C-alpha cells in the first residue's frame, strides 16, 4: 500500500504536530509513537485491516490490533456523530444471526471493530453490555438492547447538534435497513416456530421493539409481515 506524495506530506504534518509540537521531542512514549504512526498510516490508506497493516509494519497482527485500539482513543478525531454515522453504515451492511433463542440474543460480525466502544457505551447507558470477540470480531448482544440503541439513535440531537436535518435523515435510513436485516433473518428462520418455543424470548422482544417511540412502527411492520 504505497503512499502518494500528498499522503506522505499529510502524514508527516500530523506526526510533527502530535509528536513534536504537542508533546515535545522525546516526550511521547515509544508505544504511543508506534500507535500514532500506524494510526496515521491507516487513516491515509483508509483501512483498518490489521492483517494488511501487520504486513506493512512487520509486526504481529495482535499488536497491530492493540496499537489501533490505543490510537483510536488517543488520536482519533471523530466526533460522536461522525463515529455513529460510520457505525450505522457498518451495522446496515452486516448479516444478523440468532445466537440464542432462549436469551433473545443476536450475533453479527462488526467489520469496523475500532467503533465497538461507541456501541458498547450506548449498551451500558441502556443498562446492559455487549460481548465482543477480538479474534473473530463477532458481537453478541440482546436484541432488546439493540432495539433500544437504535431507538436512541433515531432521536434528534442524540449525538449533538450535528445529529439533525439531512445527516439525521441519512442515519434513519440506515436504521431502517438494520431493522429490516434483523427482521428478515428472523423471518427466514421461521418466526412461527420460534413463537411456538416456550423458552424463546425473541417474540416478546419483537413485541417490545414494536412499542418503541422512534423505531416501533418499522418493527411492528416486520411482525405483521412475518405472522
Q: Are residues 137 and 38 in the same domain?
A: no
pLDDT on residue 69: 84
Q: Is the pLDDT of residue 143 over 80?
A: yes
Q: Is the pLDDT of residue 112 over 70?
A: yes
Tell me how far apart the alpha carbons of residues 212 and 3 are, in angstroms, rounded to a whole number. 47
pLDDT on residue 195: 54
Average pLDDT (55-61) is: 93
pLDDT in tens, 62-97: 899 889 888 888 887 789 999 999 999 999 999 999
Q: Are residues 127 and 195 in the same domain?
A: yes
Tell me how far apart the alpha carbons of residues 124 and 152 are, in angstroms, rounded to a whole number. 13
pLDDT in tens, 116-129: 989 999 999 999 99
Pick the last residue of a domain from 49, 74, 99. 74
Q: Are residues 126 and 191 in the same domain?
A: yes
Phi then psi for 197, rounded to 5 degrees? -85, 115
Q: Are residues 128 and 46 in the same domain?
A: no
Q: Are residues 10 and 59 in the same domain?
A: yes
Q: Are residues 17 and 107 in the same domain?
A: no
Q: Are residues 146 and 220 in the same domain?
A: yes
Q: Are residues 44 and 149 in the same domain?
A: no
Number of domains in the chain: 2
pLDDT in tens, 153-189: 999 999 999 999 999 999 999 999 999 998 888 776 6
* Higher pLDDT among residues 222 and 137, named by residue: 137
Q: Are residues 63 and 173 in the same domain?
A: no
Q: Are residues 69 and 91 in the same domain?
A: no
- Quick one: three-class SS letters along the chain? CCCCHHHHHHHHHHHHHHHHHHCCCCCCCHHHHHHHHHHHHHHHHCCCCHHHHHHHHCCCHHHHHHHHHHHHHHCCCCCHHHHHHHHHHHHHCCCEEEEECCCCEEEEECCCHHHHHHHHHHHHHCCCCCEEECCCCEEEEEHHHHHHHHHHHHCCCCCCCCCCHHHHHHHHHHHHHHHHHHHHHHHHCCHHHHHHCCCCCHHHHHHHHHCCCCCHHHHHHHHHHHC
Q: Is the pLDDT of residue 226 over 70?
A: no
pLDDT on residue 90: 92
Q: Are residues 49 and 85 in the same domain?
A: no
Full residue range of the structural domain in which residue 208 is found? 80-226
Pick the last residue of a domain from 74, 106, 135. 74
Pick the last residue of a domain from 37, 53, 74. 74
Q: Are residues 110 and 134 in the same domain?
A: yes
Phi then psi for 132, rounded to 5 degrees? -130, 125
Q: How far is CA 139 from the centre of its chain?
A: 9
Amino acid at each position: 500500500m504505497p503512499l502518494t506524495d500528498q499522503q506522505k506530506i499529510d502524514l508527516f504534518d500530523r506526526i510533527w504536530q502530535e509528536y513534536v509540537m504537542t508533546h515535545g521531542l522525546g516526550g511521547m512514549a515509544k508505544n504511543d509513537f508506534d500507535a500514532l504512526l500506524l494510526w496515521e498510516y491507516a487513516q491515509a490508506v483508509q483501512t483498518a485491516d490489521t492483517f494488511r497493516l501487520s504486513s506493512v509494519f512487520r509486526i504481529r497482527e495482535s499488536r497491530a490490533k492493540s496499537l489501533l485500539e490505543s490510537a483510536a482513543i488517543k488520536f482519533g478525531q471523530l466526533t460522536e456523530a461522525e463515529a455513529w454515522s460510520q457505525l450505522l453504515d457498518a451495522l446496515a451492511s452486516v448479516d444478523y444471526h440468532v445466537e440464542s433463542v432462549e436469551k433473545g440474543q443476536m450475533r453479527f460480525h462488526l467489520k469496523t471493530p475500532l467503533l465497538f466502544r461507541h456501541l458498547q457505551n450506548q449498551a451500558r447507558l441502556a443498562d446492559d453490555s455487549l460481548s465482543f470477540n477480538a479474534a473473530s470480531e463477532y458481537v453478541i448482544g440482546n436484541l432488546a438492547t439493540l432495539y433500544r440503541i437504535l431507538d436512541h439513535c433515531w432521536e434528534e440531537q442524540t449525538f449533538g447538534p450535528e445529529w439533525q436535518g439531512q445527516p439525521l435523515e441519512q442515519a434513519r435510513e440506515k436504521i431502517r435497513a438494520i431493522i429490516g436485516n434483523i427482521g428478515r433473518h428472523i423471518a427466514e428462520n421461521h418466526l412461527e416456530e420460534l413463537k411456538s418455543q416456550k423458552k424463546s424470548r425473541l417474540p416478546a422482544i419483537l413485541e417490545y421493539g414494536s412499542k418503541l417511540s422512534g423505531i416501533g412502527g418499522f418493527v411492528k411492520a416486520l411482525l405483521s409481515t412475518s405472522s
